[in-house]
Amino acid sequence: MKRLLAGLIVLLVLLTGFGIAAHVLIDRSALRDDVVAAVKRQTGRDLALGRFSVQVLPWPSVSAGNVVLSDLPGSARGPMLKAREVRASIALTPLLWREIRLENVTVLGADVSLLRDADGRANWEFTPPKTLENDHSSSRPRVQARWKLAIGSASLTQANLSWRDELRSWRGHVVIDRAELDGLHSPSPYIDFHGHHDQTPFTLTGHIGPLSLLRGENPPWALSLGATLGTNETHQDWLNFDGQLMDPQHLRGLAGNLRGEIAHLSDLHGIFPHARLPEINDLGGELGLFDAETKTDTQGWKAFASHLGVNHVHLHAASLPSWHDIHAQAVHVDGETLSSALAVDADLASASHVWHAQGQFGTLSQALRSWQDRLNTSLPVSVTVQEPGKSGLEATDQRDRNDGATFNVSGHIGAKESQLALSGQAQSLAIRNSALHEAKFGLTIEAKGWRWFHLKDSKFSSQEAEWVSDLIFDDRERRKLSGSVHVSRLDLDALQGIWRRVTPPVKPQIAPSVPAAPGVAGIAQKSAPAANEAKTPIAPSTQTPPLSLVQRLRQQDADLTFEGDNVRFNQRDYHALKTHVSLQAGHLTLDPISGQGPDGPLAGRFDYHAENDDPEMAAQFSPLLLPASWAQQQAGLPLLLRGPLEVVGEVHARGQQPNEWRHTMSGHLGLSMVGGTIDSHLLGQFVGQDVQSVLGHGDIGLRCLGIHADIADNRAVVDSLGLEAGALMASGHGDFNLTTHEMTLHLTPRVGIAGAGASTPVLVTGTIEAPHVQQEAGQDGRFEVTIGGAAEDVCGHALSAAREGLAGQAPPAPKKRSRAAELLHDLGIFH
């Protein structure tokens, strides 16, 4: 035991003495110069070391501060690498063959800048100089030993890594929190990176190829890499790649399998903020990748992606970005081999429907070739979209108006030409608030490039409509739409849920109540208006669309013919409807507008010269039929009337917007309706709210309406007005401001109750949206109330004036009821 203890003491003394001797005898300057010379000899770069120290015990090691490695020779850029401190151990055995192999290299506080210029020169490629003069670190000459420098393993802590690839237009920056690199001198180094960009953490772990690439060589790399994105507390995205890279210097010759799961593809923006990746959720699966050796003039990641080929694919995604409010969900893309079909399976969801789509886009090889040459090679396409099968309660749900709907697309698409055949059918197909029954359609689309389309052999039929069309869209030199649409039959009543505007009920603005005149239930108000009573006009709307009508008309041409053999509207049939639409250089004409109504011919013409700086509009109606709801919408009026509105007259106007037309409009117009409905709530505001109980609620039948006006100076002077709806008849005259909707109407309403009636003149002021009603005194200053007496039929005179003498539909005869039944009806109790 004593001998062992004595031996240990002797060994300790010897080691201590050896350490002291080495510390004294080692020439630190010479070792420092050897390291700098070795770096210069092997890389062609200049290495600058600040503080430099050597330690022998407990293991030979070196330490350096303020380490700087220069960029490419001759470059005016800053250094490629700067480090606050570098520490490393020296392996002893390699010293025997003059190799300084550094192990456990620890780099603290590093800034690494990787750059490749537009000529393809990369600063991470190290090229030894052809000749190197001997260094003279001191005035006395000494023998220069050629030492080789090698790194076996390394670690980085809190390193800033930035890169810029001007050749591929890539750039980025990340912070390496911790990085471990092992076996750097071996054919398969191991890397383990942990870093973050902004607030997004990531990891990269696995094996890469030999680092002789850094010395200018280009050996093939075997790759096995795994990456994660996010933290363990959240769903962590991951990617794995196993394969090889034949040309690592140029990122070419890739082959291998890529697998992964990414919760949101946009999560990658945390690392690649300029990638502009789409919103794809729960993306995952496997891709077999290989280098397709294609040529492209694109840059960035798209150029890199265009080089990639896919020899098998199995991908899934929970959802894809929406297209025109259609969302693709539960998407699956599969292709087993290059010769297998590329199959796509997805659910398509809109606001009210869910469809199932299945399609094939040629073989995987064909799809790859079309992708690489941007569809210059045409791609076969076959897609079926159908309503998912129902079972249980779903199969008996009467609210689901889709039944047996199936759509098919087949043909080929290409950048030079495409041809697709579309067809479909459905027992019941819901569209907005209506439904088509026993619907079928067929269509062929021919395309030349992406700017010429021919929609030919287009046919549609259902219980509600049937038409054929032939249309050509040409956007090669100037956008133009030409062709024809021939409607055999169209039931607008059955499809009113599609075109009819639905507005929520508007709470009326009730004028201050005034004691009613004796014997009249709210037909008029007794007191006259105060002289200083304030009025609050509604300012005209100044909102303009993003693109004016004139701009849209000047951007395209059109030559279209529309024909309608039989159109049913408001329970009446119209035949031989026809118009020709011509648009050329901003000049729009609809001429002729013709047809045959139930009570005579329909005719009109519309002409708009938008090619001039001061556009002019002219319209003739003799007569013309328009949906009342559409006409009120275009005029910016509340939805009071529903049904066919007959228009007679001629108007002229100037301007680029509808509000300018109203300012400059001149001419004469007659508006009439027979049948249809009128909103009793809005009507009651024009004759007094107390009449509401007599008129009933909701829409009531309109026996007749006739209005005739001369238009000039932004005003419509109404010389004749008459209507009859339910228990109310009214006639009068007045004027109306086309812009502010202010009005002054002199009306004589008459309310009939149980065969009797009462009337009194009233003055209606305010606006259409907020009318103000008061009883109107006669010329002698007295208020007149008429009770009883025979009621004069206002329909004949009002319709004759509105139609300007043209023949038209006669109003229906008044219904005959007993006095008791008429009283209950007028009170809204009996219908």
Residues 606 and 684 in one domain: yes
Q: What is the CA radius of gyration of the chain?
A: 43
Question: Do residues 751 and 521 make contact, with C-beta atoms less than 8 angstroms apart?
Answer: yes
Residue 189 pLDDT > 90 = yes
Question: Per the confidence metrics, is the pTM higher than 0.85?
Answer: no
Residues 567 and 496 in one domain: no
Per-residue pLDDT tens over the stretch 45-100: 899 988 888 887 777 888 999 999 998 887 878 899 999 999 988 887 777 777 77
Residues 463 and 567 in one domain: no
pLDDT higher at 725 or 3:
725
Which of the listed residues 437, 466, 500 is the one where a domain comes to its end?
500
Number of structural domains in the chain? 2
Residues 631 and 752 in one domain: yes
Whether 821 maps to a domain, the answer reads yes
Per-residue pLDDT tens over the stretch 299-354: 445 556 667 889 999 999 999 998 888 899 999 999 999 999 999 999 998 877 78
Q: What is the pLDDT of residue 816?
A: 60
Q: How long, in residues, is the chain?
A: 831
Residues 465 and 553 in one domain: no
Whether 630 maps to a domain, the answer reads yes
* Whole-number Å distance between alpha carbons of 662 and 653: 7
Return the minimum-mean-pLDDT range out of 92-101, 214-223, 566-575, 624-633. Answer: 92-101
Residues 695 and 809 in one domain: yes
Whether 409 maps to a domain, the answer reads yes
Residues 622 and 685 in one domain: yes
What sign results for the dihedral spanned by CA atoms 120, 126, 132, 136?
positive
HEC readout, 375-443: CCCCEEEEEEEECCCCCHHHHHCCCCCCECCEEEEEEEECCCEEEEEEEEEEEEEEECCEEEEEEEEEE
Residue 629: helix, strand or coil by DSSP?
helix
Whether 385 maps to a domain, the answer reads no
Give residue 693's domain range. Answer: 519-526+546-826
Which distant-in-sequence residues (6+ apart) come within 8 Å of 141 by Cβ? none
Whether 138 maps to a domain, the answer reads no
Q: What is the pLDDT of residue 720?
A: 94
Residues 557 and 496 in one domain: no
Residues 778 and 634 in one domain: yes
Residues 718 and 815 in one domain: yes
Whether 472 maps to a domain, the answer reads yes
Residues 588 and 726 in one domain: yes
Residues 632 and 729 in one domain: yes
Whether 80 maps to a domain, the answer reads no
Residue 626 pairs with which residues in a beta bridge?
645
Whether 505 maps to a domain, the answer reads no
Q: H or E element: which one contains 9?
A: helix 2-25
Q: What is the overall mean pLDDT for the chain?
A: 81
Q: What is the pLDDT of residue 480?
A: 94
Q: What is the pLDDT of residue 789?
A: 60
- Given pLDDT bands bounded at 50, 70 and 90, which one contains residue 521? very low
Q: Quick one: what percent of the chain has pLDDT higher than 70?
A: 81
